[in-house]
């Protein structure tokens, strides 16, 4: 088992007054190695909240997130950062590329703390390979502002893949894309899943993308159910 979420509770605000909002309510989920999962659910249902817990960007109020047998909810802040950097790739809805950095610089950001020269060179080669594979090699020296939405999203996927994560968490990776680019993005994700063994957890409103995943889940009223 790659990932096990057990009895997760998560809310925001002060539990003592009416600012409190319970978002995830005793949610449990199991993900096997190599699965392709789409997560659906209305706006505000807790999809991003769930990805943030899995990606160790946030702590649950109760319950555990176990990644390959390791309980990541008990890690320190620094251990959480290392875990995320090495095991998880994140693709955000609006790609979050740094506007003042070129595509290549953006892609290499997660590798900046690597000091070993050989390891850095290996990352550079992997970046070159991935940029070619997603068809934006020619754009490597451009700023994100000069690229289309689809090209930026592909750059964001390359950045997420740079440290060869086991799990890719993608939060509406096709939110800003037209149908053609949705198809390209879903082909890319499926290729990474089939050829690199990458497990996919993708939040999406796109029927086209969800249809390419092996399994669909829906979050509603704090629970997750398999469709
Ligand atoms: N840091 C936070 N502080 C307070 N409330 C939050 C915080 N993060 C999320 N929430 C609330 O938790 C609920 C779930 O938010 P979340 O972002 O997980 O929804 P979502 O399913 O991703 O929605 P969308 O489809 O619009 O992106 C919302 O009501 C939101 O306002
Ligand atoms: Mg969201």
* pLDDT given for residue 21 in this prediction: 94
* pLDDT given for residue 177 in this prediction: 84
State whether residue 81 is helix, strand or coil: helix
* pLDDT given for residue 181 in this prediction: 84
Q: CA 17: distance to chain centroid? A: 33
Cα of 75 vs centre of ligand 1, distance in Å, is 24
Could you identify the atom of ligand 1 that is nearest to the CA of residue 93? 27
Closest CA to 159 of 175, 178, 146, 173: 173
- Using an 8 Å Cβ cutoff, are 168 and 89 in contact? yes
* pLDDT given for residue 55 in this prediction: 94
CB atoms within 10 A of CB 137: 15
Ligand 1 within 6 A of CB of 184: no
Q: Domain locations in the chain?
A: 35-57+87-226
Residue of 14, 49, 60 with the most ligand 1 atoms within 8 Å of its CB, for mutation:
49
* Residues whose CB is less than 8 angstroms from the CB of residue 128 and which lie 6 or more positions away in sequence, other chains included: 137
Strands lying side by side in the sheet with 223-226:
88-91, 167-171, 199-203, 36-40, 215-220, 223-226
Cα of 49 vs centre of ligand 1, distance in Å, is 6
* pLDDT given for residue 43 in this prediction: 94
- 163, pLDDT greater than 90: yes
* pLDDT given for residue 220 in this prediction: 95
- 184, pLDDT greater than 90: no
Ligand 1 within 6 A of CB of 65: no
- Whose CA is closest to atom 27 on ligand 1? 43
Cα of 195 vs centre of ligand 1, distance in Å, is 34
CATH 3.40.630.10 for the 35-57+87-226 domain, yes or no = no
Arithmetic mean of pLDDT, 94-107? 94
Arithmetic mean of pLDDT, 72-95? 90
Give the residue with greater pLDDT, 143 vs 135. 143
DSSP structural state of residue 32: -
- 185, pLDDT greater than 90: no
Strands lying side by side in the sheet with 70-71:
21-31, 3-12, 62-67, 70-71
Q: pLDDT digit string (tens) for 22-38?
A: 999 999 999 999 999 99
Task: Give me the residues near ligand 2 (ion), CB cutoff below 5 Å.
Answer: 47-48
| pLDDT range class, residue 175, cuts 50, 70, 90 | confident
* pLDDT given for residue 108 in this prediction: 97
pTM of the predicted protein model:
0.94
* pLDDT given for residue 158 in this prediction: 95
- Cβ burial, residue 34 (10 Å; 0-12/13-18/19+): middle
Ligand 1 within 6 A of CB of 204: no
Could you identify the atom of ligand 1 that is nearest to the CA of residue 51? 18
- Using an 8 Å Cβ cutoff, are 176 and 94 in contact? yes
Arithmetic mean of pLDDT, 9-14? 96
Alpha-carbon distance 102 to 145, whole Å? 9
Arithmetic mean of pLDDT, 85-113? 93
- 122, pLDDT greater than 90: yes
- Using an 8 Å Cβ cutoff, are 131 and 107 in contact? yes
* pLDDT given for residue 101 in this prediction: 98
Ligand 1 within 6 A of CB of 43: yes
């Amino acid at each position: 088992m790659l990932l096990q979420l057990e009895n997760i509770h998560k809310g925001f605000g002060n539990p003592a007054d009416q600012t409190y909002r319970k978002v995830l309510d005793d949610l449990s989920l199991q993900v096997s190695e190599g699965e392709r999962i789409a997560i659906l659910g209305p706006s505000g249902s807790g999809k991003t909240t769930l990805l943030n817990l899995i990606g160790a960007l946030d702590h649950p109020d109760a319950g555990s997130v176990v990644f390959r047998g390791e309980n990541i909810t008990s890690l320190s802040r620094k251990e959480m950062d290392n875990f995320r950097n090495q095991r998880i790739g994140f693709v955000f809805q609006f790609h979050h590329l740094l506007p003042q950095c070129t595509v290549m610089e953006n892609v290499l950001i997660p590798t900046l703390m690597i000091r070993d020269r050989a390891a850095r060179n290996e990352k550079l080669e992997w970046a070159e390979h991935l940029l070619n594979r997603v068809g934006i090699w020619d754009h490597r020296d451009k700023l994100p502002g000069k690229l289309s939405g689809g090209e930026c999203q592909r750059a964001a996927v390359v950045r997420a893949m740079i440290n060869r994560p086991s799990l890719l968490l993608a939060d509406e990776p096709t939110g800003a894309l037209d149908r053609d680019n949705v198809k390209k993005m879903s082909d890319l994700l499926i290729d990474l899943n089939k050829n690199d063994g990458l497990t996919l957890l993708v939040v999406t409103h796109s029927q086209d993308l969800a249809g390419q995943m092996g399994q669909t889940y829906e979050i509603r009223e704090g629970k997750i159910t398999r469709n």
